[in-house]
C-alpha cells in the first residue's frame, strides 16, 4: 500500500523518470502511447502525494476533492481508453493487433459510464489503515468491474511481447488487490504496482532499442 506522501511522491518520481526514458526509446509514433504510460502512473502518484498533504487540513477540503476526482478520472476514464489503444498500437502482429483493438469499445463504454458516474457522484478521499480510500457511494456492478479488467489488462496479456505480457500480469495483480479491498471502499494500493509495471515497460523499450534496425 502507499503508506504516506513520501511513498507516493517517490513512486511518482520513479514512474516519471521511467516515462522519460521510455519516450526517448520509442522507435516510432505507434509506440508513443505505450511509452507515455509511466507518466500517467506518475501523475496518479503525484496526485496521491498531494492528497496526503491536503487531507489533514480542513482548509484544503476543496483541493482534496479536486485531487480525488482527478485520480478517479485517470483511473476510471483515461486508463480504460489508453490501455487497449496503447497495447494495440505497440503490437507488431497484425492479427493480434486487430484482436486487441476489439477491447477498445469496451474501454470506451466503461470510460463513458465512469465519466457520467463521477459527474453525478463525485469522489472523496479519506485516510484509512495507512492508505487512501476513494469513495463516491456509487459502487460499480460486478459486470462493469469485469469489463474494466478486460479492457485495461486484456490487451497486454494478449501481446506477443513478453515484457508487455509481464506488464499485463502486474497490472492485473494490482487490480485484483484493489478489487479484494473494494468491500472497504476503493483502496489505492497502486504505488508499488505502478513502479513494478514501469520496470516492465523500461525493459520492453530497452530491449526494443537494442534490436538492430
What value does the mean pLDDT take over residues 13-38? 91
For residue 16, what pLDDT is reported? 92
Higher pLDDT, 187 or 197: 197
Which band of pLDDT confidence, cut at 50, 70 and 90, is reported for residue 133?
confident
Which band of pLDDT confidence, cut at 50, 70 and 90, is reported for residue 212?
low
Over the stretch 64-102, which tens digit does the pLDDT of each residue have?
999 999 999 998 999 999 999 999 999 999 999 999 999
Q: Lowest mean pLDDT: which of 104-108, 125-129, 159-163?
A: 125-129
pTM of the model: 0.88
Task: Please state, as a whole number, how many other Cβ atoms lie within 10 Å of the Cβ of residue 162.
Answer: 12
Over the stretch 144-180, which tens digit does the pLDDT of each residue have?
989 999 999 999 999 999 999 999 998 888 888 777 7
Range list of β-strands (E), 57-179: 124-128, 131-135
Amino acid at each position: 500500500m502507499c503508506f504516506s506522501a513520501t511513498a507516493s511522491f517517490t513512486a511518482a518520481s520513479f514512474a516519471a523518470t521511467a516515462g522519460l526514458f521510455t519516450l526517448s526509446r520509442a522507435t516510432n509514433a505507434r509506440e508513443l502511447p505505450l511509452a507515455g504510460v509511466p507518466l500517467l502512473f506518475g501523475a496518479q502518484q503525484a496526485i496521491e502525494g498531494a492528497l496526503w498533504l491536503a487531507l489533514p487540513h480542513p482548509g484544503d477540503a476543496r483541493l482534496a476533492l479536486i485531487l480525488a476526482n482527478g485520480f478517479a478520472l485517470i483511473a476510471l476514464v483515461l486508463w480504460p481508453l489508453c490501455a487497449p489503444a496503447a497495447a494495440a498500437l505497440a503490437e507488431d502482429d497484425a492479427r493480434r493487433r486487430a484482436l486487441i483493438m476489439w477491447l477498445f469499445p469496451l474501454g470506451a463504454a466503461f470510460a463513458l459510464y465512469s465519466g457520467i458516474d463521477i459527474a453525478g457522484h463525485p469522489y472523496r478521499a479519506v485516510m484509512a489503515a495507512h492508505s487512501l480510500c476513494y469513495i463516491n457511494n456509487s459502487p460499480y456492478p460486478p459486470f462493469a468491474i469485469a469489463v474494466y479488467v478486460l479492457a485495461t489488462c486484456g490487451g497486454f496479456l494478449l501481446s506477443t511481447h513478453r515484457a508487455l505480457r509481464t506488464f499485463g500480469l502486474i497490472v492485473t495483480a494490482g487490480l485484483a488487490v484493489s478489487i479484494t479491498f473494494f468491500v472497504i471502499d476503493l483502496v489505492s494500493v497502486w504505488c508499488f504496482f505502478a513502479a513494478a509495471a514501469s520496470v516492465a515497460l523500461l525493459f520492453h523499450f530497452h530491449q526494443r532499442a537494442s534490436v538492430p534496425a
